[in-house]
Amino acid sequence: MLKADVLKFFGSKSATAQHLDVSPSAVTQWKDIIPEKQAYRIEKITNGKLKVNPSLYNKRK
All domains of the chain in start order, with CATH:
1-54 (1.10.260.40)
Residue 42 is predicted with a pLDDT of 97
Residue 2 host element (H or E): none
Per residue in 1-57, pLDDT tens?
A: 999 999 999 999 999 999 999 999 999 999 999 999 999 999 999 999 999 999 999
| CB of 49 closer than 8 Å to CB of 8 | no
Task: Report helix, strand and coil shares of the chain as percent, to nearest 5.
Answer: 60, 5, 35
Identify the three-state secondary structure at position 33: strand
Give the separation between CA 49 and CA 25, rounded to whole angstroms.
24
Instruction: Say what angle helices 13-20 and 3-10 make with each other, to 10 degrees.
Output: 90
